[in-house]
Structure 1
Amino acid sequence: MKRFEIYRNIRKRAIIWGLPVSLFALMMIAVVGSLLVIIFSFSFGVVITALAFNCLLYIGLTRFASQPQLFQFARVFPSSVTAKRSIQVYYEQD
């Protein structure tokens, strides 16, 4: 009898075929779009092109999902954290 491992890290991030849910949805939209292209213009070249495009998209999305810091341009946290008020207006007189 086959045994299945319990996936306990569901709170971290849901993964479908090695992709987060949003990237998996993007891949499925591309697959449905390529199927529509294949259905309405059936030729062997279109079938091979759509298959190659979907394979390259999946490979690219899995690499992007494993290394998301490649496309992160802005810093997440500021360089310094302070509790000082940022208002430059002073109400008292000198």
Structure 2
Amino acid sequence: MKRFEVYRNIRKRAMIFGLPIALFALMMVAVIGSLLIIIFSFSFGIIIGVLVFNLALYAGLLKFSRTPQLFQMSSPFPKSISNKNPTPLWYEQD
């Protein structure tokens, strides 16, 4: 009989519609805001614009969740590590 081990960290990699939990929450906030805009707008162009915006946001979040290195501006590690105080001020009393 096959034995399975318990995976306790399932929430760390949980996905909903292909998005991590935080990005899914961002998408739901955008959808609720869009629904409010649709309810209070009387223009067909605004409704189409909101739908296009939601589709573009979903596609962008999917791309970001698959390759997060696209938006990384700096290296994750410092160029040098030092024990030197970063400020010339002296906080200790003599």
TM-score when normalising by structure 2: 0.69
User: Which structure 1 residue ranges, 5 or more long, are not aligned?
Assistant: 1-7, 88-94
Whole-angstrom distance in 1 between the partners of 2:47 and 2:71: 31
Map 1:1-94; keep pairs closer than 5 Å.
Answer: 10=10, 12-79=12-79, 86=84
Residues 30 and 72 from structure 1, CA distance in 2 versus in 1: closer, same or farther, beyond 3 angstroms? same
Which structure's residues are more often helix, by fraction?
A: 2
1:46 aligned partner, one-letter code: I
Q: CA RMSD in A?
A: 2.1
Aligned residue-pair number: 78
How far 1:47 sits from its partner (Å)?
1.3
Aligned amino acid, residue 60 of structure 1: G
Cα distance, 1:49 vs. partner?
Answer: 0.7
List gaps (5 residues or longer) in structure 2: 1-6, 86-94
CA shift at 1:44, angstroms?
A: 1.4
Partner of 1:91: none
Q: Hey, what's the Cα distance between the residues in 2 that align with 1:69 and 1:81?
A: 23
Moved over 6 A (4+): none
TM-score, normalised with respect to structure 1:
0.69
How big is the shift at 1:10? 2.1
